[in-house]
Structure 1
């Protein structure tokens, strides 16, 4: 009788452990927007699934991520959470939910692939650090060797500004492009407004976002109005052949760049022309009648 009781206790405890294990790992922890932003600011690695109710595809991603959570914690020491119907999803995914985003030191990478736990794990573990290179006037030619087409490989570059909302929303997708192409070419970005102003003038970049693919001394402008990961990767691997081929201009002399800066400034501020012509007209009128 005593053995039967002990056996029953063991069975009950085993079933309870199985139940608790299933309970603990059957759903992801839900976080608010404020909690998520705090995690992104303070934690090294954060994996977040943006999801919503009554979404079968969202449920599929959550099931895969649930199975994967223990591996992500063990290999990356990452936080794995979900945000339900969060407006923050618009910052990272044009298609909204479901969106799976991996933050590395605050830098977002949008997962662009099927709901497959092995592929998700491979993508995240292979891209633990930001992939996109930040280029400036000081290092652009040295790193890319764009005009010589020399030894550093092909470069796909996004020109952006910090006050461009569309550019901010592209960051996670651009990192995804870098992850897709990392074994084939370099993916980078240049701040047209600040440290990359000279480089932007060199290539005639006036609007943002602007994308240019550099290959073997030539440049190809991405003039397609589709900003998804698949379109970007397709352009850099093959579709660029259909774009207009331009010879990469050599860096401008300081004088030529200064003159180009004046031209760009006048184009961006046409009211200066009106004031100038108005002043000339007023001066002529004054001298004519006096």
Structure 2
């Protein structure tokens, strides 16, 4: 069987080649351009879901510091593409920025398998590439009731080192916004032997949270040499959290790490927390909607008055009536 060849005109071959090259370039990270590729929020979310590494610069117009960071990132882009295969893009006036950074633009975020790390170093090409190369995988460990004591050994002397744990819940929006910040804290403290971790106090680590008396989101606890230190500062900045884990914890409230609770003690603690949460929820509803308790007071008053009137009427109707005897007729 003979194969027949089809001769295509040269212009058509050139068009076909350009089309193939455009498809290939669309599927590979851009490099060599004098500007960063600009994407909208939908495109950025698609990249975060689909690509292994994405470097995103969040900027805004008329921002000199944004332009400086953009220039530096352009200089670092080729190395990020070559060594990481990362997509390096820019998102201007993005609504997603508040999910990853508590500060104003510019914000440089490195996504690893969708997990964000907020860059908090100097505007320097070498420092940026070194930081991202050193933290190619997510840093924060996920702790649960099953593995907490085994991994941390918090109650037995902390032979596995210091652990800095953020207790969170899936319903806590602020906790979600702290994800990139917490990864940045982990990137800075790992060189000091401090392990950064997360624990879902409303889910897999509920019993552990009750063991330590954690009742709010987020809560940060440093476990060090058999003691736990509470981070009570109102701000959750990267530098504040790093400073606390390394030195400032000495000024914070500390407690001896309690041993794990027995099943009965944990059940009692769960009941206490449940009752307290119900009371706090009810008080919160009444504080937010004062008309509810006002209607309740009025309704209770009307019921009380109606009950009193009913009792009084019932008492009157049940009192015995005097019996009058008719005079007997005398017969003559």
Alignment of 1:160 onto 2:149:
no
Q: Secondary structure at the match of 2:260?
A: coil
Q: How does 1:166-205 map to 2 (within 5 A)?
A: 166-184=174-192, 185-205=194-214
Cα distance 1:273–1:32, how it changes in 2: closer, same or farther (>3 A)?
Answer: closer
Q: How does 1:245-284 map to 2 (within 5 A)?
A: 245-270=254-279
Q: How does 1:131-146 map to 2 (within 5 A)?
A: 131-146=139-154
Alignment of 1:78 onto 2:78:
no
Please, which of 208, 213, 222 is the counterpart of residue 213 of structure 1?
222
Cα distance 1:105–1:271, how it changes in 2: closer, same or farther (>3 A)?
Answer: closer
CA deviation profile, 1:152-177 (whole Å, cap 9, x unmatched): 00000000011110000000000000
Question: Please, what TM-score do these two structures have when normalized by structure 1?
Answer: 0.85
For the 8 Å contact 1:58–1:97, the answer to whether it is kept is yes
Q: Secondary structure at the match of 2:127?
A: helix
Question: Please, what TM-score do these two structures have when normalized by structure 2?
Answer: 0.74
Question: RMSD in angstroms over aligned alpha carbons?
Answer: 1.8
Q: How does 1:35-54 map to 2 (within 5 A)?
A: 35-54=43-62
Q: How many residues in Structure 1 have an aligned counterpart in Structure 2?
A: 254
Q: How does 1:87-106 map to 2 (within 5 A)?
A: 87-106=95-114
For the 8 Å contact 2:57–2:108, the answer to whether it is kept is yes
Please, which of 58, 63, 71 is the counterpart of residue 66 of structure 2?
58
For the 8 Å contact 1:146–1:217, the answer to whether it is kept is yes
Give the superposition deviation at 1:273.
Answer: 9.8
Q: Specify every segment of 5 or more residues in structure 1 that has no aligned partner in the other structure, as ranges.
A: 1-22, 275-288
Give the superposition deviation at 1:124.
Answer: 0.2
Alignment of 1:233 onto 2:242:
yes
Q: How does 1:102-117 map to 2 (within 5 A)?
A: 102-117=110-125
For the 8 Å contact 1:135–1:189, the answer to whether it is kept is yes
Distance 1:266 1:25 in 2: 61
Distance 1:86 1:271 in 2: 37
Q: Secondary structure at the match of 1:81?
A: strand
Q: Specify every segment of 5 or more residues in structure 2 that has no aligned partner in the other structure, as ranges.
A: 1-30, 284-310, 312-332
Q: Which has the higher contact order (CA 8 A, sep 6+)?
A: 1
Give the superposition deviation at 1:271.
Answer: 8.0
For the 8 Å contact 1:266–1:273, the answer to whether it is kept is no
Q: Secondary structure at the match of 1:190?
A: strand
Distance 1:190 1:258 in 2: 20
Distance 1:150 1:198 in 2: 20
For the 8 Å contact 2:158–2:224, the answer to whether it is kept is no
For the 8 Å contact 1:219–1:248, the answer to whether it is kept is yes
For the 8 Å contact 1:154–1:216, the answer to whether it is kept is yes
Distance 1:161 1:245 in 2: 23
Matched residue, 1:68: 76
Cα distance 1:31–1:78, how it changes in 2: closer, same or farther (>3 A)?
Answer: same
Q: Secondary structure at the match of 2:77?
A: helix
Matched residue, 2:127: 119
Cα distance 1:271–1:79, how it changes in 2: closer, same or farther (>3 A)?
Answer: closer
Q: Secondary structure at the match of 2:223?
A: strand
Q: Secondary structure at the match of 1:225?
A: coil
Q: Secondary structure at the match of 2:181?
A: helix
